[in-house]
């Protein structure tokens, strides 16, 4: 079995051909990050046009590198939810053209399910496991008990951690920082945090006393903005011109994000143990999504799993951020189990908003 995966849900055009052993036969990625960094955020129509301009080249490159002819593919898997509607539409219509041309089954993919299952391409992680999805658009804790079986324990009540880090980086004008050009906000903050002293600016960890597994990052961003405004006023400089203490602010915000994630994860582990939702021995915590490539955040999560006698697993950074490999792999997993393998694509459509599995966050609060 060999699947072609196509990803266009946000700002990366990705394609890959993966086989059922998890061997990546061919892959290609076109990143729009540089363009969106310059405009200060993703403009959906610009992202859509860039997907249109690049999708054919990216898919051709992945197929060519794989040495497989399109006729030999077992299926075509494509992200259809959640994401930017205009961008999902480009991937879907392109995929359906291929599906019709080569008479292949079509496998619609949920982008967050793909982030969650990527790890199984590399490690034989058994179901059920706990997953922490931390990315540009999501922050979710869920129990994964099968390829399409997710129970959501909690999620962000406002923004996602990647979005917060990107906005803080933008407020600090890190795109103009000589050491951070071409880095995403999260990468820039990770880089500068290494040189900073987090103790210099004190930030409060959000929701410490909330007895559930939800997250919140908007208040933290307000705290950081206030610190930045205060420093700018103290130094008598214009907005976004701060140079001193930028690394200290990066270190403090990264530390606070990491500890907020850790506290909520600890609560999820407590709930899962109490309810018997995870294996009693060496249960796994999987962290995935772009923010999970952060080494400092991984270290803090590692202390949580060590304390609970669990194993922490994260995909390598290249597979944490968006890519075609995770979509192709999810296609392989669905093909194996026979879920969502469409031989008739008449009703195929995309959904910009989509929840992840069954929401049991209210039960978590009751049990607390
Ligand atoms: P979603 O998956 O929720 O739809 P997305 O696909 O846009 O959102 P990803 O590609 O998974 O998000 O991740 C991108 C995010 O990861 C960006 O916000 C970026 O700043 C963040 N990120 C990337 N590298 C790092 C890092 N080393 N440390 C922290 N954050 C990072
Ligand atoms: Fe993503």
| ipTM > 0.85 for the complex | yes
Mean pLDDT of 174-202: 95
Whole-number pLDDT of residue 85: 98
Residue 98, φ and ψ in degrees, nearest 5:
-65, -45
* Rounded-to-integer distance, Cα 331 and Cα 338, Å: 10
Backbone angles phi, psi at 5, to 5 degrees: -110, 140
| DSSP helix/strand/coil, 226 | helix
Distance 285 CA to ligand 1 centre (A): 19
HSE of 141, CA atoms in CB hemisphere, 13 A:
27
Residue 162 Cα: closest atom of ligand 1: 18
- pLDDT tens sequence across 239-253: 888 778 999 999 999
Report the distance separating Cα 253 and Cα 160, nearest Å: 14
Whether the CB-CB separation of 10 and 84 falls below 8 Å is answered with yes
Ligand 2 centre distance from Cα of residue 171 (Å):
23
Ligand 1 binding site (Cβ under 6 Å of any ligand atom): 9-10, 83, 111, 115, 135-138, 160, 162, 165-166, 184-187, 190, 289-291, 293-294, 321-322
- For the cut 80, the answer to whether the pLDDT of residue 118 exceeds it is yes
| Alpha helix positions (H), the chain | 33-39, 44-66, 85-102, 111-117, 161-171, 185-193, 218-235, 246-275, 295-307, 317-320, 325-337, 361-367
Candidate from 36, 42, 136, 352 with most ligand 1 atoms within 8 A of CB, to mutate: 136
Q: Are 198 and 252 in contact (CB under 8 A)?
A: yes
């Amino acid at each position: 079995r060999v699947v072609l995966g196509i990803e266009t849900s946000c700002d990366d055009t990705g394609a890959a051909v993966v086989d059922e052993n998890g061997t990546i036969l061919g892959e290609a990625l076109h990143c729009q990050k540089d363009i969106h960094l310059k405009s200060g955020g993703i403009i959906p129509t610009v992202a859509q046009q860039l997907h249109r301009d690049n999708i054919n080249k990216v898919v051709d490159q992945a197929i060519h590198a794989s040495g497989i002819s399109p006729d030999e593919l077992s299926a075509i898997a494509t992200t259809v939810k959640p994401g930017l509607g205009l961008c999902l539409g480009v991937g879907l219509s392109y995929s359906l053209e291929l599906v019709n041309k080569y008479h292949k089954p079509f496998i619609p993919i949920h982008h967050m399910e793909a982030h969650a299952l990527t790890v199984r391409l590399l490690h034989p992680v058994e179901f059920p496991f706990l997953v922490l999805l931390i990315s540009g658009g999501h922050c979710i804790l869920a129990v994964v008990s099968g390829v399409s079986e997710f129970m959501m324990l909690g999620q962000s009540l406002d923004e996602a951690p990647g979005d917060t880090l990107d906005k803080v980086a933008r407020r600090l004008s890190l795109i103009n920082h000589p050491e951070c050009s071409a880095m995403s906000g999260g990468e820039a903050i990770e880089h500068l945090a290494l040189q900073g002293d987090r103790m210099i600016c004190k930030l409060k960890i959000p929701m410490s006393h909330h007895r559930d597994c939800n997250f919140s990052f908007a208040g933290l961003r307000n705290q950081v903005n206030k610190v930045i405004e205060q420093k700018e006023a103290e130094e008598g400089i214009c907005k976004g011109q701060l140079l001193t203490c930028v690394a200290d602010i990066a270190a403090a915000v990264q530390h606070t994000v990491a500890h907020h994630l850790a506290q909520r994860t600890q609560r999820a582990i407590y709930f899962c143990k109490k309810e018997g939702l995870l294996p009693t021995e060496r249960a796994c915590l999987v962290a995935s999504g772009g923010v999970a490539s952060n080494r400092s955040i991984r270290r803090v999560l590692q202390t949580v799993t060590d304390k609970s006698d669990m194993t922490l697993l994260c995909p390598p950074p290249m597979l944490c951020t968006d890519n075609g490999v995770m979509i192709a792999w999810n296609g392989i997993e669905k093909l194996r189990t026979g879920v969502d393998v469409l031989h008739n694509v008449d009703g195929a459509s995309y959904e910009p908003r989509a929840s992840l599995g069954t929401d049991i966050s209210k039960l978590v609060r009751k049990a607390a």
